[in-house]
Structure 1
Amino acid sequence: MSFLDKAKDFIDKHDKQVDQALEKVGEQIDDRTGGKYRQQIGKAVDEAQRRTGDGDTRP
């Protein structure tokens, strides 16, 4: 099993934690940019969460 396969398996098994981590990363980036790119960051976080495996926790 390749590293990428292992990463995908981990993400599928820990989807809720991955979504929470993505949310925190988005908040950190938003804070560091002074909210200047809030809308773009929000869209990027939402898209990343949508793509993190089967049974995603967010619509």
Structure 2
Amino acid sequence: MSVLDKIKGALKGHEAQANQAVDKAGDMIDQKTGNKFQSQVDMVQDQAKKQIGETPPTDGS
């Protein structure tokens, strides 16, 4: 079992919180670097979210 599989298993059921953490970490990096690497950070955030998995849609009614 790879490390990535272990992480996915640990995050199962907590995808929304993991995605929020990815967003928060990316925002912190952008802030610390003055948005100098914003496009690269966004790309890494997107890839991390794909690995974590999509969050189920919430009913907005």
The verdict on a shared fold, with TM-score over 0.5 as the criterion, is yes
Query: Secondary structure at 1:32's aligned position in 2?
Result: helix
Amino acid of the residue matched to residue 57 of structure 1?
Answer: T
Give RMSD over aligned pairs: 2.0
Question: Under a length normalisation based on structure 1, what TM-score does the superposition of the two structures give?
Answer: 0.76
Select the residue among 34, 54, 57 that pairs with 2:55: 57
Q: Percent identity?
A: 35
Query: Secondary structure at 2:25's aligned position in 1?
Result: helix
d(CA) in 2 for partners of 1:43, 1:7: 20
Gaps of at least 5 residues in structure 2 are 57-61
Amino acid of the residue matched to residue 41 of structure 2?
Answer: I
Gaps of at least 5 residues in structure 1 are none
